[in-house]
Amino acid sequence: MSEIALRLSEVVAGYGSFTALFGVSLEVERGEAVAVIGPNGAGKTTLLRVISKLVPIRSGRILFDGVDLGRMPAHRIVELGIAHVPENRRLFPRLTVEENLKMGAFAPAARARWRERLEEVYALFPRLKERRHQPAGTLSGGEQQMCAIGRGLMSGPRLLLLDEPSAGLAPLIVQQVFALVQKIARSGLTVLIVEQNVQQVLAIVDRAYLLETGRIRGEGPAALMRASEEIKKAYIGL
pLDDT, tens only, 150-195: 999 999 999 999 999 999 899 999 999 999 999 999 999 999 999 9
Q: pTM score, two decimals? A: 0.94
Please check whether residue 182 lies inside any domain of the structure: no
pLDDT in tens, 111-161: 889 999 999 999 999 999 999 999 999 999 999 999 999 999 999 999 999
Helix (H, G, I), strand (E, B) or coil at 149: helix
Mark whether 141 and 122 lie in a shared domain.
yes
Is the same domain home to 163 and 223?
Answer: yes
Report how many domains make up the chain: 2
Within-domain flag for 180: no
**Domain co-membership, 53 together with 100:** no
- Structural domain contains residue 179: no
Residues 69 and 166 in one domain: yes
Task: Kindly state whether residue 122 falls inside one of the protein's structural domains.
Answer: yes
Residues 194 and 132 in one domain: no
User: Same domain, yes or no, for 166 and 225?
Assistant: yes
CA-to-CA separations, 10 to 15, 161, 173, 213, 214, in angstroms, rounded: 17, 20, 36, 15, 11
CATH classification of the domain holding 49: 3.40.50.300
- Containing domain of residue 59, as a range? 1-81+159-170+189-238
**pLDDT for 92 beyond 60:** yes
Residues in the chain: 238
Question: How high is the pLDDT of residue 237?
Answer: 59
* pLDDT given at position 108: 81
Residues 140 and 163 in one domain: no
Give yes or no: residues 207 and 98 share one domain: no
Geometric angle at alpha carbon 229, from 180 and 25, rounded to 5°: 65
Q: Are both 31 and 94 inside the same structural domain?
A: no
